[in-house]
Amino acid sequence: MTGKKHFLALLLCLTAVLLIAGCGPNESQEAPESDVASAYVETVTAGKDIVQQANDSAHAHFFREMVALGPEGVQAAHYSDNCIGCHSAVKMLDDPDAALKDFFPGGKYEDRLEGISCRVCHILATEEGITLRKEGWAVCGDCHTAQGRPVLGKEVHHPQNEMIRGFGVGEVPDIPSYKCFNMIDFTCYDCHTTNAVKHDYMVPGVTVTEDGVTQMDYEKFSEVLKQPRCISCHQIVEDTVQSVKTKQEYIRQKLDELRPLYEEWGEKTAAMDPNDSRVKTFGEAATYFTYVEADSSKGAHNYELAKALLAKAEEKFKELQ
Ligand code: HEC
Ligand code: HEC
Ligand code: HEC
Ligand code: HEC
Ligand code: HEC
């Protein structure tokens, strides 16, 4: 009961803030929903239906590719049975005790190499049709997470959730992203538009090359901001697109500058006495650097935090030189 009251109070404050900021939704500017949906079909789904899109995605493929590495390949990549808790539908939904060995030839689940399939995100047959198992940021953020605050000295993996929440680490303070802290009902899939026509989970305009490099077409990206619930605030779409572009260019360039240093000092420190002070300095630089590198959005999720982390990484790499 009190939880609900708090929520309402927060919502009221928020509405007030938005109104004062002149950023409240404005009904008269909304484009008809059906026009927007058909624009998506043409520009960002390449004419594929949602089942085809989902089946072509890395979500659907990844687990099969992982198992194809075989027992030795998987061991070399440091997989443990816990790792597949975010990768295998069987482990997530049917059998929490499922182990990696069950999925190799001869194992009891050798025929069930189901990755992140429909039922991982959805409950398929309900009275309201197809519904989501989770809500809000958790729909995507429960897997795309470093599973807590990054730890100084350790490398960071898929920290999209932490980046958006704005968790600082070491000498970098918390810097929450605008969307996570000012827009109570915003989610990952508002930008990574996922709906009845789009299910490739990518931000419109993003494609992935054969070797896994993502490319952004800013012209197509602008479609995302033309959705009825965005255009009310983002009235001059080009301005937001230009702003994202400029920020991404800066972060991409910094990452390219620091990556050779990260690789060089990774090799050097691996051969050093663990008590050498440079081993510790490198560990810290690696945390700051991999936090931004592994988030993979090149600053789109939280530019201010990404910039601050890379500035610290640069400082630490300079100490090493
Ligand atoms: C909390 C959920 C979760 C757990 C636990 C997890 N992963 Fe992942 N894994 C992900 C997500 C999400 C991605 C996609 C990352 C991206 O594209 O940014 C991923 C991607 C990967 C990739 C692809 C390469 C990459 O980094 O994009 C590898 C390899 C991988 N995981 C290995 C592992 C290993 C090894 C473990 C256990 C030590 C593990 N995963 C545990 C969620 C998880
Ligand atoms: C990674 C998570 C994820 C996976 C996997 C996934 N979906 Fe979805 N799906 C979503 C999200 C998020 C939405 C948007 C829900 C909303 O806006 O309330 C959605 C919406 C839908 C909708 C529209 C529902 C409505 O009420 O408008 C349908 C239909 C749908 N999904 C079918 C599927 C099918 C079929 C598959 C498998 C081929 C699938 N989804 C796989 C996350 C997922
Ligand atoms: C059950 C865990 C899980 C959930 C839920 C999940 N993801 Fe993923 N995501 C992964 C894994 C695993 C990968 C594949 C890693 C790879 O191949 O590099 C991935 C990859 C991705 C990629 C990169 C795809 C590529 O081709 O490089 C994007 C973008 C993405 N997810 C967005 C989302 C969005 C948006 C949602 C919510 C609608 C979501 N994910 C929900 C685990 C998850
Ligand atoms: C404000 C819009 C926005 C929100 C909110 C957002 N993303 Fe992103 N995301 C982007 C953009 C833009 C990129 C960069 C695309 C590029 O340049 O390749 C990106 C990149 C990514 C990538 C790297 C793969 C790729 O497409 O380049 C993953 C994985 C990802 N986001 C997952 C998430 C998850 C999980 C959440 C929620 C916790 C989230 N995003 C919330 C806009 C957003
Ligand atoms: C209530 C007003 C409001 C709505 C509605 C809104 N936004 Fe925003 N958005 C903002 C503000 C204000 C900022 C700028 C925050 C800042 O400067 O850090 C922003 C920033 C962004 C950015 C990052 C821009 C940059 O310069 O880095 C993206 C991407 C974005 N919004 C996408 C969306 C999408 C997609 C939707 C619809 C699903 C949406 N927004 C709906 C107010 C809104």
What was the pLDDT predicted at 42? 52
Q: Is 229 in the pocket of ligand 5 (CB under 6 A)?
A: yes
Q: 62 and 46, same structural domain? A: no
Has residue 4 been placed in a domain?
no
The pLDDT value recorded for residue 157 is: 96
| Cα 137 to ligand 2 centre (Å) | 15
* Same domain (yes/no): 86, 61: yes
Closest protein CA for atom 42 of ligand 2:
121
Tell me, yes or no, whether 105 and 141 share the same domain.
Answer: no
Based on the fold, state whether residues 70 and 147 are members of the same structural domain: no
DSSP state of 86: G
Same domain assignment for residues 70 and 46: no
| Separation in Å, CA 87 to CA 41, 71, 76, 200, 279 | 29, 16, 18, 17, 33
Residue 19 to residue 198: CA distance in whole angstroms: 32
Q: Which of 75, 103, 132 is the last residue of a domain?
A: 132
| Distance (Å, whole) CA 91 – CA 96 | 5
Give how many domains the chain has, as a whole number. 2
Residue 246 sits at the vertex; the CA angle it makes with 243 and 250, to the nearest 5 degrees, is: 140
Beta-bridge mates of residue 132 = 122
Q: Is the CB of 160 under 6 A from ligand 5?
A: no
* 98's tokens: 């499922």
- Do residues 158 and 81 share a domain? no
Closest CA to 166 of 190, 182, 155: 182
Report which DSSP code applies to 172. Answer: B
Q: Which domain holds residue 268?
A: 26-51+136-320
Same domain, 128 and 145: no
- Contact (CB, 8 A) for 258 and 317: yes
Check if the beta carbon of residue 237 is closer than 8 Å to that of residue 221. Answer: no
Q: Is 55 in the pocket of ligand 1 (CB under 6 A)?
A: no
Q: Percent helix, strand and coil across the chain, each rounded to 5?
A: 55, 5, 40
Which residue's CA lies nearest to atom 20 of ligand 2? 195
Statement to judge: residues 245 and 233 lie in one domain: yes
Under a CB-based contact definition with an 8 Å cutoff, are residues 303 and 251 in contact?
yes
CB atoms within 10 A of CB 59: 19
Q: Give Dmax (Cα) for the chain.
A: 67
Mean pLDDT by 10 residues, the chain (321 residues): 44 39 33 49 69 93 94 90 95 96 95 96 86 95 96 97 97 96 92 93 91 91 92 94 98 98 97 95 98 98 98 97 87
Q: Which ligand is nearest to the CA of 66?
A: 1
Read off the pTM: 0.91
- Torsion from C-alpha of 78, 81, 87, 91, nearest 10 degrees: 170
C-alpha distances out from residue 111 to 62, 64, 104, 115, Å: 15, 10, 9, 12
Same domain, 89 and 167: no
Q: What is the pLDDT of residues 11-35, one digit of tens each?
A: 444 443 333 332 223 333 444 445 5
Check residue 1 and give its pLDDT: 38
The answer to whether residue 9 is domain-embedded is: no
